[in-house]
A and B are shown apart, each in its own frame.
Chain A
């Protein structure tokens, strides 16, 4: 297993490096930060000084060389906008996204597993119909629209929760609620179909013949074996959330990675963009590794 972890890490290191190089060169194509940060009538000498102070005047390949040397030390340079190390800016935003994604995924998994298992127990029954309506709606509604409507209903009209920002636990309810919708609809379907397969297998018949109660069969015998595809899809969805729930974070003014990323891209704050991509890729890599190890834990037949 040690060899498996090592090989995966090396492979991911290569692709992460390739990604950073690609982003480095492509993001330089989006325009000159001096044009964005200085007044329109700033003289050329001031512009030149601005570029020199930030190392933007050097040839692109020289900039790239500096970038590589600093990368090894986790130094991405200073954020243009915030005048402090880009890595610090990203590290501050990251816990917010991590907490948001973590809480959302935990709620999604619990709700989807319970409802999905109930739906699978009786195909065509009431829970099955409820869950197929939920899945269809969740796959069809754009998240920014759900967010706006949720703000209008729960914050403006009813006044139960604040519209945006952070501070109290109340501020977290709407962002989590909106982020919940899509993964819930998707994972619900996966749980349902995977549970239907598991419930028709031989070991479930054996358990039933032995006189095990239906609830124990569903939630102990079948569930554990139905979890593999569920975890795969849940991992995909969690990776999406870690990459920054851009739209939801923007609408709710939530200081996470997604909002930081889109702001930095629009402000040509290359250092922050690179640092953010590096950190989220690292987090997603760790999560995928964890998922692969969970497979082996859930199914003893899987060995690396």
Chain B
């Protein structure tokens, strides 16, 4: 009896051919592949960069100040030029990947967890609770985020953790509203009714039955939001209220190059270009994820894959 209602897990055997795996679907999409390759490189830099190039990134050489890019006599580390203190720009970009990625990653994870949970509660609980949570989101959205950043970063110190705190607070409403909207629709479906009839508790229905349905959407938003948070962090660092030197992020590097714009454009150009390439990769990946994770859209990719093979 219960088997006919439960999720259809054994359907793979009934279809004549197995659907293509995620990896082959990814390889069929040139742009998504390029994005994943670039993001892997960035993650690698973030994890191992400071250990590998930390010394090169902080080595000051006043005789080699503002070396122009693509001059090979100074060694491969200077291929992107050097900054106003003679430090290798390439090494600094690789090392700065850690702070940039760390802030964005922690922000997205904490905002996603808190916003997602609140959204689940708001969507599945009674009107009063849901109203309170939604008004909370309204207050956050109308509070000037710049002012919030200054208040928090002056009261506490402008370290990675506090920057994450500020950014996460401002991003919670996005996850909250999306999750709630999805839950409102899903809770009316048959399988939720069935679970309720069989006596499942509210907790169980929310986290075991509804959450897996919301997760793909949350994942897509998180990828997109990762790019947004990176831009927000670099704006704060650029304005001088984010990460403080000697710590570095890409946004801070752009800001540090600003006074030298007349003589040395490459000081700001390369870190900015790195930001653009990273956010662009994230956007492309998010688009691809949205298609792959949506069963009604996935056939498009599978068809394209078949067309590419045959």
- List residues of A whose CB falls within 8 A of some B CB: 15, 18-19, 22-23, 26-27, 29-31, 136-137, 139-145, 148-149, 151-152, 156, 243, 246-247, 250, 261-262, 265-266, 273, 277, 281
4 smallest beta-carbon distances between A and B, as pairs: A145-B272, A140-B280, A140-B279, A30-B154
Q: A19-B142, A136-B280 known; A265 and B150 CB under 8 Å? A: yes
Interface status of B220 (Cβ within 8 A of chain A) = no
Q: A148-B258, A148-B272, A265-B147 known; A142 and B235 CB under 8 Å? A: yes
Residue pair B239, A145 in contact (C-beta under 8 Å): no
Chain A residues touching B, majority SS: helix
Count B interface residues, CB 8 Å.
35
Q: How far is the CA of A161 from the CA of B108 in the complex (A)?
A: 40
Residue pair A26, B151 in contact (C-beta under 8 Å): yes
A262 to chain B, nearest CB (A): 6
* A-B contacts besides A15-B139, A137-B276, 12 pairs, CB < 8 Å: A22-B139, A22-B143, A136-B280, A136-B283, A142-B238, A142-B279, A149-B268, A246-B146, A247-B235, A247-B238, A265-B147, A273-B147
- The contact sample of 6 A-B pairs, CB cut-off 8 A, is A15-B142, A144-B235, A148-B261, A243-B144, A246-B235, A262-B239
Closest Cβ neighbor of B238 among chain A residues: A144
Residue pair B234, A142 in contact (C-beta under 8 Å): yes
Residue pair A156, B146 in contact (C-beta under 8 Å): no
Residue pair A262, B146 in contact (C-beta under 8 Å): yes
Taking CB atoms, residues of chain B closer than 8 Å to A266 are: 150, 241
Taking CB atoms, residues of chain B closer than 8 Å to A281 are: 142
Residue pair B144, A140 in contact (C-beta under 8 Å): no
Q: A145-B272, A156-B262 known; A247 and B239 CB under 8 Å? A: yes
Taking CB atoms, residues of chain A closer than 8 Å to B146 are: 246, 261-262, 265
Interface status of B227 (Cβ within 8 A of chain A) = yes
Chain B residues touching A, majority SS: helix
Q: A140-B280, A265-B150 known; A145 and B268 CB under 8 Å? A: yes
B307 to chain A, nearest CB (A): 15
Taking CB atoms, residues of chain A closer than 8 Å to B283 are: 136, 139-140
- One of A30, A145, A262 near B275 (C-beta < 8 A): A145
Residue pair A246, B239 in contact (C-beta under 8 Å): yes
Interface status of B254 (Cβ within 8 A of chain A) = yes
Q: A15-B142, A29-B155, A148-B254 known; A142 and B261 CB under 8 Å? A: no
Interface status of B251 (Cβ within 8 A of chain A) = yes
A188 to chain B, nearest CB (A): 14
Taking CB atoms, residues of chain B closer than 8 Å to A140 are: 227, 276, 279-280, 283
Within 8 A of A (CB), among B44-69: none
Interface status of B284 (Cβ within 8 A of chain A) = yes
Q: How far is the CA of A149 from the CA of B261 in the complex (A)?
A: 9
- One of A136, A141, A250 near B239 (C-beta < 8 A): A250
- One of B150, B234, B261 near A30 (C-beta < 8 A): B150
Interface status of B191 (Cβ within 8 A of chain A) = no
Closest Cβ neighbor of B268 among chain A residues: A148
Question: Quick one: which of A15, A141, A143, A273 has the most chain B CB within 10 A?
Answer: A141
Residue pair A27, B147 in contact (C-beta under 8 Å): yes
Interface status of B38 (Cβ within 8 A of chain A) = no
Taking CB atoms, residues of chain B closer than 8 Å to A277 are: 144, 147
Interface status of B247 (Cβ within 8 A of chain A) = no
Residue pair B235, A15 in contact (C-beta under 8 Å): no
Q: How far is the CA of A139 from the CA of B138 in the complex (A)?
A: 24
Q: How far is the CA of A143 from the CA of B154 in the complex (A)?
A: 25
Residue pair A152, B261 in contact (C-beta under 8 Å): yes
- One of B257, B261, B284 near A151 (C-beta < 8 A): B261
Residue pair A30, B151 in contact (C-beta under 8 Å): yes
Closest Cβ neighbor of A30 among chain B residues: B154
Closest Cβ neighbor of B139 among chain A residues: A18
Q: How far is the CA of A243 from the CA of B147 in the complex (A)?
A: 12
Taking CB atoms, residues of chain B closer than 8 Å to A144 are: 234-235, 238, 251, 254-255
Q: How far is the CA of A136 from the CA of B261 in the complex (A)?
A: 27
- One of A139, A143, A247, A262 near B227 (C-beta < 8 A): A139
Taking CB atoms, residues of chain B closer than 8 Å to A145 are: 254, 268, 272, 275-276
Q: How far is the CA of A247 from the CA of B272 in the complex (A)?
A: 15
Taking CB atoms, residues of chain A closer than 8 Å to B265 are: 152
Q: How far is the CA of A31 from the CA of B150 in the complex (A)?
A: 11
Q: How far is the CA of A247 from the CA of B239 in the complex (A)?
A: 7
Q: How far is the CA of A240 from the CA of B251 in the complex (A)?
A: 21
Interface status of B231 (Cβ within 8 A of chain A) = yes
Taking CB atoms, residues of chain A closer than 8 Å to B239 are: 246-247, 250, 262
Q: How far is the CA of A247 from the CA of B142 in the complex (A)?
A: 19
Q: How far is the CA of A230 from the CA of B139 in the complex (A)?
A: 25
Taking CB atoms, residues of chain B closer than 8 Å to A247 are: 235, 238-239
Taking CB atoms, residues of chain A closer than 8 Å to B254 are: 142, 144-145, 148
Taking CB atoms, residues of chain B closer than 8 Å to A151 are: 261
Taking CB atoms, residues of chain B closer than 8 Å to A27 are: 147, 151
Q: How far is the CA of A151 from the CA of B265 in the complex (A)?
A: 10
Q: How far is the CA of A15 from the CA of B140 in the complex (A)?
A: 11
Closest Cβ neighbor of B153 among chain A residues: A30
Q: How far is the CA of A15 from the CA of B146 in the complex (A)?
A: 19
Q: How far is the CA of A29 from the CA of B139 in the complex (A)?
A: 19
Taking CB atoms, residues of chain A closer than 8 Å to B147 are: 23, 26-27, 261, 265, 273, 277
Chain B positions 241 through 283: 1 when the CB is less than 8 Å from some CB of chain A, otherwise 0: 1000000000100110110011001001100100110011001
Question: Quick one: which of A139, A243, A266 has the most chain B CB within 10 A?
Answer: A139
A207 to chain B, nearest CB (A): 30
Taking CB atoms, residues of chain A closer than 8 Å to B262 are: 156
